Amino acid sequence: MTLLSGQRYRVKDGSTASVSQRSDGSGSRVAELPGGAVVVCAQIGGKDGRIRISAPAGWVEGAVLENAPRAPSLKPDFATFQQRHREVRPGDAYGLEFPFSLAMLEEFGPDFLTKAFHASGVLAADNRVTAILSTKPIEVKGASENALVTITYAKDDPTIETELFIKMPPADVERKFGLAGMSHGEVEIARLSQTGKVPVDTAPYYFADYCTDTANYILITGKIAFGVAPIEPAHHKGYDFLVPEAGDHYRVLTQALAKLVAAHKTGAMGHEVEEIFPYARAARDFWPSPDSAAKIDRLVDFIGRIAPQLFVAEGTDADFLNRWRDDLQFGLAHKDALNAYLHADPDYTGLCHSNLNIDNAWYWRDGDGQLQVGLLDWGGAGQMSIGQALSSMLMMPEPEAYIQLVHDTIATFIAEYHAAGGIALDPDTLRFHYKASVFSTAIWIIVDYVTDMLFQFSEDDYASMKDRFDERLTSTGLYSAVIWIDNMLRDWLDDPTPGAVSRRIVGQLQIAA
């Protein structure tokens, strides 16, 4: 068997794999992996056929490995999904049937919550949930049905809360199918948090499960008291001008992401991570709509003719926009090649929060005045390109600060990752990956979805707007759309451009073929 970098392998049954620090097998042992453990090859060429594995990072004998079975899919085909998604079936982890809408939660009632909390271990065996006093939907547009629920218990217990947060699939069938599978990562991170293996703060865990047969899920955590000291009020994505010291918030988000990836790679989260979160399964991917070219033309016209005053001046130049149009079409057409490149080197992938925008966290300052962070909304969590994770995080900061923030974020991640036990990453390589990532984390959404949103106002309306701070933009959410586009323009005004990066990657792959 020929071992290849970026491929998953399994320790043969009846064997063990000793993970050593050095390629010749010397040095201290990092870990002993049992038969059946799944690993990812990061480098070949060690002494006596040894290979370096991605996590727990170190060298093992290639002779004890065999090909790993393909990671199972978490998303059924649409026909199967339509048949099953309304069915109540047991969850994968606890084997309990669970509700997947707020109406069903009322039907299942306190008995279900009692069984769930007993199964997860958060509720004492001699205690039970006696009533659901209130269910208050959270009226925020998102990828799920969310609510705050107030319950009572038979016995007082200071270790458990009565105010809980519940998350379930969206009611819209098309949206539910489009997001099927993403919630698995959130459920598994929540369950892992109970073991103490997740190296960042998460919401207190009560119960979570996912059903692979139906793609339904439920997540129950403690309520985060936004706006109650010392916790800051909830922040909103795309409105960083309302966040005091926004740069500090991105710094702590970056440090938290680096700690998470490092804990995965060093093995601090256990070798089971590869089974739970298979290599590259969380890669951001997309399917461009058939009329992407026409939407790009509309977007270019909007930037250059209809509302140029909303964007960086150099990004509204006709020649620049023509080159930008060509780059967008090229990158979207070659999205599979770009995604494959981003996940070809395991050293630049890891277990990531896939959507770490400033709103998917809560913040507080400790006794020394230092900003601290806890992470929320783990949907899509799993192994993915670090460049993609960073690009997802930096979607909508204020444009004037964007490019410097990208440089600072990459430097912060590398430093924190290395300090937490990760290998020394190359800043130029990670920045190259970041530029290649914008096609899969920003551009396709801007082209296929955001562009249509822009035309809720007329050309005359836009002509009357002085700048992006016009109340018609800030009050409708279009402010976020405008700054997201502006940031992408600035990515093309900064070398290397995403267009140049994408052409270089595709050219290298064509030469290799």
SS (H, E, C) 234-247: CCCCCCHHHCCCHH
Q: At what angle do helices 427-438 and 335-342 cross, to 10 degrees?
A: 150
Distance CA 250, CA 462 (A): 31
Q: What is the pLDDT of residue 141?
A: 62
Distance CA 263, CA 252 (A): 16
Alpha carbons within 13 A on the beta-carbon side of 124: 10
Distance CA 185, CA 429 (A): 27
Is the pLDDT at 513 greater than 70? The verdict is: no
Query: Residues spanned by CATH 3.90.1200 within the chain?
Result: 240-512
**DSSP 3-state of 369:** coil
Distance CA 513, CA 506 (A): 11
The whole-number average pLDDT for the span 357-369 is 96
The whole-number average pLDDT for the span 500-513 is 89
Q: Can you read off the two tokens belonging to residue 70?
A: 């393909």
Q: Is the pTM of this model over 0.75?
A: yes
- Chain centroid to Cα 192, Å, comes to 16
- Chain centroid to Cα 136, Å, comes to 27
Amino acid at 307: A
210-244 tens-digit pLDDT: 999 999 999 999 999 999 999 999 999 999 999 99
Q: Which of 383, 364, 382, 384 is closest to 374 using CA atoms?
A: 364
What is the distance between the terminal CA atoms of the chain, rounded to a whole angstrom? 22
Antiparallel, parallel or unpaired: β 371-375 and 201-202: parallel
The whole-number average pLDDT for the span 17-40 is 93
Return the percentage of the chain with pLDDT > 70, whole number.
99
The whole-number average pLDDT for the span 48-70 is 95
What are the beta bridge partners of residue 11?
A: 65
Distance CA 331, CA 500 (A): 10
Q: Which of 466, 484, 264 is closest to 383 using CA atoms?
A: 264
The per-residue pLDDT of the chain, averaged, comes to 95
121-156 tens-digit pLDDT: 999 999 999 999 999 998 766 668 999 999 999 999
Distance CA 42, CA 264 (A): 14
- For tokens 């390589």, the residue is 429
Amino acid at 408: D
Q: What is the pLDDT of residue 309?
A: 98
Report residue 48's pLDDT band, with 50, 70 and 90 as the boundaries. confident
Q: Do 279 and 346 form a contact (C-beta atoms < 8 A)?
A: yes
Q: Do 166 and 149 form a contact (C-beta atoms < 8 A)?
A: yes
Classify domain 8-67 at the CATH class level: mainly beta
- Chain centroid to Cα 321, Å, comes to 30
Return the percentage of the chain with pLDDT > 90, whole number.
90
Write down the architecture of domain 240-512 according to CATH.
Alpha-Beta Complex (3.90)
**DSSP 3-state of 149:** strand
